[in-house]
Amino acid sequence: MMIRASFRRGIILALAACVVGPLPLYGQDVTFQASLDKNPVGLGDQVVFSLVLTNAGTGGGKNLKLPDLSRFHVMSGPNQSSSMQIVNGAVSSSMTYTYVLQPKETGKFTIGPISIEAGGKTLQSQPITLEVVKGQPQAKKAPVGQDDLGAQIGDNLFLKATIDKSHVVQGEQVNLVFKLYTRVRIVNYGVDKNPTMTGFWSEDVETPKNITLSNEVVNGKQYQVGVIKRVALFPTQSGTLEISPMEVQTVVQVQPQRSQDPFESFFRDPFGRQMNYVVKSEPVRINVDPLPPGALPEFKGAVGQFALSAAVDKRTTRTNEPVSLKITISGTGNIKLLESPAVDVPADFEQYTPKVSDNINRNSEKISGSKTFEYLYIPRYPGLKVIQPVTFYYFDLGKREYVKLRSPQLELNVEQGSAPLTPQIAGSPREDVRLLSQDIRFIKIGTPAFTRPTQPLHKSIPFVILLVLPVLGVAGAYAFARNRQAVMLDEAGYRNRRAIKVAQKGLKQADYLLKEKSGSHGEPSSMQRLRFYAEVSRALWKYLGDKLGIPQAEFSVERAVEVLKEKSVDNGLVHAVRILLESCDMARFAPTSLEISAMQKTYDEARRIIVELEHALK
């Protein structure tokens, strides 16, 4: 059976290679990088020297030429391995050549560039400097603790924030990229804290849901790198602006260390365990210069490269019929911050608040798109009407100067409409066009009839009530404050009144632990069961201590039973309290069987006892 299974897997892999092999690597650049698995290294230790050729196709490379390695013992190599991935139809491949080297002497040595022919051209890697220090070969390591594991992960996992420009002018776009560098296996990650970008208008740039990993060499070590966030920043003020760090919570798969003990190796999880680790980027500073002088008063802060267009929906219309004027500003820059330009129209045009819409492209390195301002006008008198050219000022980053854009003059032929001209009231709301000719009442010209009140105001009942009401309010507030102060000073009474609320809160946490299904069989884990009994015991102890006025330092089961009997509580209820507390302690400190049914019975008994005690101790 094992031979058949292996034979089947071989056939499947062979067919997959035949199908995948001819696929072209469209849009993939061929790269060649060199890295070391550790740097520095001790004299007598071995170091793995890796050469990675990516996206060269299934044929790989040829004519690999190594530099002078006379200062090293070549323990093994070249060892070759290859891999191929297909993600959303995009094919990527890599060929890795590894050498195991052992330095002959101490010092700093430079491994020169390595060349290889691939993709019809010759590629060269960057030189790498290796530091060799005095030291003996590493002895057998002791078991790694939590702190040591964190230190090891920190050496192989970090978050880096990069910007494409560190010195810009106000309003100029800066691209901020957060990259995760890793040499360990990351199972999952999530953003714990986003950076603070004070002094910037930010636009999140769209990134693929599935992160594409690339290879980068940092300090001689090769890392897998994934972009987790891209942001386009537009500074709104000048000076030195700082972007605070970003924090990312990662779940790392930690592989177990090999052990000489066969029994320990047998019982240890072969897949390792998962560990939470937080990575944090360094703060980034950007120097922002103010815009140069010489801007006209009409300049409203637009920075980038823009174009202006203006058009009406019709050139001939009638009086009292609406006309739409659309002004569109398109280009690259801080489009979201653009303000509506001023429009000079004839005085008899009734104007409404413009409707603003934008269409922004966030997929490329530069934010681009357009912003449209749609004005609605209603001409009231016939004739040839002229809409003056619309002007727009912005600072051109390419020319480093202020630019004025001007739209053409628009002419509108207004004919007399069928509806007569209606009188309008200045300052009336213009959300809708309405007839206003019959909303003014005729002035009254007769003599109004005035009557003298029969009773003076200060002798009326409402006046007396209003006069006495503030005095009563102050007296009531004073009495309430005195009563509240007395209540707060009565600590025992305060604890007695809040006892039931504290107990209900503890039982709510116990109920959550009872219903949470995180064990291997969809049930609470052993740790959750122990925590359940601890929460029930704590809730009952806290309730009895607060309700009976027993300090926590003096509280015991015997003391609680004694006080309950003094308060003439039913003996059966007192016995039930003792049994419940003792069963919780037994489950916590000498657990034998922590069944779900027993936990549910304990929870129901605790609720019943607290409710009956609340009625008995009133």
Which has the higher per-residue pLDDT, 132 or 144? 132
Range of the domain at 561: 491-616
Task: Please tell me the predicted confidence (pLDDT) of residue 496.
Answer: 65
Which has the higher per-residue pLDDT, 151 or 14? 151
Task: Please tell me the predicted confidence (pLDDT) of residue 306.
Answer: 93
Considering only CA atoms, which of 93, 85, 100 is closest in space to residue 118?
93
- Residues 100 and 283: their CA atoms lie apart, in Å, by 38
Residue 60 reports pLDDT greater than 90: no
Task: Please tell me the predicted confidence (pLDDT) of residue 384.
Answer: 92
- Residues 25 and 214: their CA atoms lie apart, in Å, by 15
Total structural domains in the chain? Answer: 4
Tell me which of 392, 415, 438 is where a domain ends.
415
Whether residue 569 is contained in a domain is answered as yes
Query: Do 129 and 151 belong together in one domain?
Result: no
Task: Please tell me the predicted confidence (pLDDT) of residue 435.
Answer: 41
CATH number for the domain harbouring residue 90: 2.60.40.10
Query: Do 352 and 252 belong together in one domain?
Result: no
Lowest mean pLDDT, pick from 2-11, 467-476, 494-503, 563-572: 2-11
pLDDT tens for residues 72-97?
877 666 777 777 665 555 566 777 87
Residue 39 reports pLDDT greater than 50: yes
Side-chain half-sphere exposure of 484, counting CA atoms within 13 A: 6
pLDDT tens for residues 331-373?
998 888 888 888 999 988 888 888 999 888 887 778 889 999 9
Considering only CA atoms, which of 356, 327, 320 is closest in space to residue 342?
327
Q: Which residues pair with 122 in a beta bridge?
A: 117
Whether residue 222 is contained in a domain is answered as yes
pLDDT tens for residues 504-545?
888 888 888 877 765 555 667 777 778 888 888 888 888 888
Whether residue 548 is contained in a domain is answered as yes
CATH number for the domain harbouring residue 520: 1.20.120
Q: Is the peptide bond before 78 cis (omega within 30 degrees of 0)?
A: yes
Query: Do 326 and 406 belong together in one domain?
Result: yes
Nearest 5°: the CA angle 13, 16, 19 is: 155
Rounded mean pLDDT, 124-147: 64
Range from 36-45, 249-258, 338-347, 549-558 that averages highest in pLDDT = 338-347
Considering only CA atoms, which of 87, 126, 106, 112 is closest in space to residue 41?
106
Query: Do 257 and 312 belong together in one domain?
Result: no
Q: Are 53 and 32 in contact (CB under 8 A)?
A: yes
Query: Do 497 and 538 belong together in one domain?
Result: yes
Angle between helices 526-548 and 571-589 (to 10 degrees): 140
Query: Do 176 and 79 belong together in one domain?
Result: no
Range from 241-245, 332-336, 614-618 that averages highest in pLDDT = 241-245
- Residues 4 and 16: their CA atoms lie apart, in Å, by 18
Residue 374 reports pLDDT greater than 90: yes
CATH number for the domain harbouring residue 244: 2.60.40
pLDDT tens for residues 452-485?
666 677 677 888 888 888 888 888 888 888 877 7
Task: Please tell me the predicted confidence (pLDDT) of residue 534.
Answer: 85
Q: Are 75 and 101 in contact (CB under 8 A)?
A: yes
Whether residue 552 is contained in a domain is answered as yes
Task: Please tell me the predicted confidence (pLDDT) of residue 179.
Answer: 92
Whether residue 171 is contained in a domain is answered as yes
Task: Please tell me the predicted confidence (pLDDT) of residue 81.
Answer: 73
Query: Do 63 and 111 belong together in one domain?
Result: yes
Considering only CA atoms, which of 308, 315, 313, 303 is closest in space to residue 341?
308
Kindly indicate the confidence band of residue 272, based on its pLDDT and cuts at 50, 70 and 90: low
Which has the higher per-residue pLDDT, 20 or 243? 243
Whether the model pTM is above 0.75: no
Q: Which residues of 327-357 are buried (b: 16+ CB within 10 A; e: fewer)?
A: bbbbbbbbbeebeebebebbebbbeeebeee
- Residues 49 and 35: their CA atoms lie apart, in Å, by 6
- Residues 153 and 76: their CA atoms lie apart, in Å, by 28
Task: Please tell me the predicted confidence (pLDDT) of residue 424.
Answer: 47
Question: Tokens 């000498």 belong to which residue?
Answer: 590
Which tokens go with 84?
Answer: 């191929």
Task: Please tell me the predicted confidence (pLDDT) of residue 572.
Answer: 86
Residue 214 reports pLDDT greater than 70: yes
Non-local (6+) Cβ contacts of 434 within 8 A are: 428
Query: Do 88 and 203 belong together in one domain?
Result: no
Which tokens go with 169?
Answer: 């002018």
Task: Please tell me the predicted confidence (pLDDT) of residue 117.
Answer: 83
CATH number for the domain harbouring residue 334: 2.60.40.740
Kindly indicate the confidence band of residue 288, based on its pLDDT and cuts at 50, 70 and 90: very high
Residue 46 reports pLDDT greater than 50: yes
Residue 22 reports pLDDT greater than 50: no
pLDDT tens for residues 296-311?
888 888 999 999 999 9
3-state secondary structure of 150: helix
Which has the higher per-residue pLDDT, 29 or 380? 380
Which has the higher per-residue pLDDT, 527 or 493? 527
Kindly indicate the confidence band of residue 404, based on its pLDDT and cuts at 50, 70 and 90: very high
Residue 432 reports pLDDT greater than 50: no
Helix (H) or strand (E) holding 424: none
Rounded mean pLDDT, 23-41: 70
Task: Please tell me the predicted confidence (pLDDT) of residue 348.
Answer: 86
- Residues 219 and 217: their CA atoms lie apart, in Å, by 7
Task: Please tell me the predicted confidence (pLDDT) of residue 137.
Answer: 42
Task: Please tell me the predicted confidence (pLDDT) of residue 86.
Answer: 57
Task: Please tell me the predicted confidence (pLDDT) of residue 538.
Answer: 85
- Of all residues in the chain, the percent with pLDDT exceeding 90 is 18
Whether residue 407 is contained in a domain is answered as yes
Query: Do 37 and 66 belong together in one domain?
Result: yes
Rounded mean pLDDT, 596-609: 86
Task: Please tell me the predicted confidence (pLDDT) of residue 265.
Answer: 44
- Residues 537 and 557: their CA atoms lie apart, in Å, by 11
Which has the higher per-residue pLDDT, 495 or 87? 495
Query: Do 537 and 580 belong together in one domain?
Result: yes
Query: Do 496 and 608 belong together in one domain?
Result: yes
Whether residue 298 is contained in a domain is answered as no
- Residues 251 and 274: their CA atoms lie apart, in Å, by 6
DSSP assignments along 45-105, one per residue: --EEEEEEEESS-TT--EEEE----TTEEEEEEEEEEEEEEEETTEEEEEEEEEEEEEESS
Tell me which of 365, 395, 415 is where a domain ends.
415
Side-chain half-sphere exposure of 144, counting CA atoms within 13 A: 18
Tell me which of 289, 322, 356 is where a domain ends.
289
Task: Please tell me the predicted confidence (pLDDT) of residue 77.
Answer: 67
Query: Do 348 and 277 belong together in one domain?
Result: no
- Residues 557 and 577: their CA atoms lie apart, in Å, by 9
DSSP assignments along 152-163, one per residue: HHHHHEEEEEEE
Residue 491 reports pLDDT greater than 90: no
Dihedral pair phi/psi, residue 31, rounded to 5°: -130, 155
Whether residue 85 is contained in a domain is answered as yes
- Residues 577 and 539: their CA atoms lie apart, in Å, by 12
CA distances from 65 to 59, 135, 194, 391 (A): 17, 31, 46, 63
